Amino acid sequence: MSTPPSALQRHAPVLLWIVGTCAFLEAAFTLLGLPLFGLGRLRNTAMIYGAFWPGLLNGWTPAFKGQHVTMFVTYAFLHGSFLHMLFNMLILLHLGRETVLRLGQGGFLLLFVLSSIGGAAIYALLAPGDAPMLGASGAVFGLFGATMFWDMQRRRAVGASLGPVGRLLLGLIVMNVLLYFMVAGMLAWQAHLGGFVTGFALAALITPTLQHRFRG
């Protein structure tokens, strides 16, 4: 039974909810931080409570009980600037549609959360120092990993070349290297790596064949 065209064109509520939350928060921080309102400290407060702080895993005093756990997910909803948020949300919308079609809304949410956690975990292991980290790029790269696995599945099923998959992987690596130097090292490539590996592994685990779908 084929999927109705309308279902392919519209975005799932869970995807819109995540994008809308990130966009609302960043819009609020950007607008309220203008001299007219003078609430620039609001972004800093949100970072204190929601960003990923590696130091909290090494004895720092948390702002609230359980912050060392919640920060593995909350950081994904905060961004450093409007452009940072916009870039991540556009990719999330683009890759999220196929992910929802393959996994359903529950599976998409699971992938988003676990990729965020995986990105934060690798950041904590590999990042030097205790600089905070924020942004949905760990989850975004989780979607890259999952969709790349599914592309490999389809190509193997029809005997097609895996060359395009390899070129996409190389492109992602080059993009990270270029961005790293463009932002003077202020790039959480560790979160990108962790998210990608988590998304690829999760897709391989719960959709090992083209016939498999997420069942909750």
Helix, strand, or coil here: 119? helix
Q: How far is CA 104 from the centre of its chain?
A: 17
Q: What pLDDT is recorded for position 9?
A: 59
Q: What pLDDT is recorded for position 2?
A: 43
Q: Which residues contact 80 (CB under 8 A, 6 or more apart)?
A: 134, 135
Q: What pLDDT is recorded for position 6?
A: 47
Q: Let me know how long the chain is.
A: 216
Q: In the chain, what are the domains? A: 5-206 (1.20.1540.10)
Question: Cα angle vertex 88, ends 50, 29, to 5°?
Answer: 45
Q: Is the dihedral of CA 85, 110, 189, 171 positive or negative?
A: negative
- Tokens 């960043």: give the residue: 26
Name the helix (H) or strand (E) containing 15: helix 13-32
CB-based contact 25:37 (threshold 8 Å): no
Q: Mean pLDDT per segment of 10 residues, for the chain of length 216 residues?
A: 50 94 96 87 95 96 97 97 95 94 95 98 93 96 97 95 95 94 89 98 94 79
Q: What pLDDT is recorded for position 129?
A: 86
